[in-house]
Structure 1
Amino acid sequence: MFTLAAPRHAVALDKPVGQWLTNLRRPGGLGKDPERAAQRAQQLAAIDPDWNPGQLGWTVDWQRHWAGLATLLAGGAGLEEIVPGVTHHGDDIGRWLIRQRRDWVRLNPEQQHRLDEAGVKPAVRHQKAAARTNAKAEATKGSDAFQRGVAALQRYIQREGKTVVGRQHVEDLPDGTSVRLGVFLSNHKNRRDRLTDHQLAALAELGYDWAR
């Protein structure tokens, strides 16, 4: 499976293609002229329809690992063979696969659908206590709130062409809910050390250098 989900440090023919692709994915990265930007987006999509996974709700890192899994499966590997230590272009697909099964509830519906079609199922967990159930529910709730915040940020940045958000700004989402975007951004910046790698990567891809 061909992918443009190159890591930021990737180099090809002595060219920093990883950084180049990262720049293209940022708001305004395809140029200020709307027609030219649309044409460039079509050209990239012709190479890889998922060239900008942030628009789908996940990170470039997730997309690259997913492409690696798809390539291994297409090459004849069975899911039971893809264990920690099995890599594709340096990425440990086996270890990544375990995390997807374990953290299934944190994935969005399209991620779950893609994995399900590949035969991947969520890990079966036996709940031992009510406290553990409550903790899982809180984690899911927090993950959903973060995803809404990222979606609101994407809408704001695409519309305004900037990443600076006023403290009191509220962004309305298509489903009728609202996100206090300024507060969301400030809180997550102040609690950066508590964010997961996935959350930091999502914010960094939107152009927030403090999340790197």
Structure 2
Amino acid sequence: MAQSKNECPSFNCSGKLLWGQLHCILEGLLSKDEDSGCVIPEAEPTGTILQRNFKYKVKAFPGRWEVKELVVQTEWKEEPFLAGFIIYCNEVAKPADVLKTCSELGMTSDVSKNVIYVNRYDWSWAHDLGDAPEELLFDANEEDGWSVINQFKENLAAQKDNSLIKEALLVDNKPVGVHLACPHTEYELGWLVFHPIKRDELIAIVYDGAYTGLEGNISLVD
């Protein structure tokens, strides 16, 4: 049965995930290293901004991963609005608990709580691709990673600017990830949440596409 455009997509994870925007996904695919909940990535000496060396690839808890919308009401905007998403493994992560921990931390990491914060300069348009040649964006083969990247590109080409995106990423007609975007996004924040015992395994990602810092009254929507 086809998924409704209003539903949040889900997928099964086999044990590793690539995360971030299109160029970050590509960088993660090419990386031999992985992000971890045990270590805050080193910062680049980039002048007036703080930018950390994420790998955009993680070990992740295997199983079914689901998505909930983050709806926020703030003092500076009367009506509640879609601010982002939480993507989580439903076997080990409770989204309300994950959101509470991240909102209490705010724009910071805490290794003792297994949370690594992703600043606005760590990804999105503020992050450069680095040494990977641009033509790799246009290569295609049958490997899953490249199939996902090509679909990601097609999704972006088909969407209007500042539109809501909730799409499953498919390989052989099976969902292997999600493509999510909020309307009117400029600065984006994130929190990588790792397993409390298997601390190199991701169990959730909180994506703040509206640059709220998770401040205000936040509710979860399926």
- Normalising by structure 1, what TM-score? 0.27
Higher strand share: 2
Greater gyration radius = 1
Ranked by relative contact order (alpha carbons within 8 Å, sequence separation 6 or more), the top structure is 2
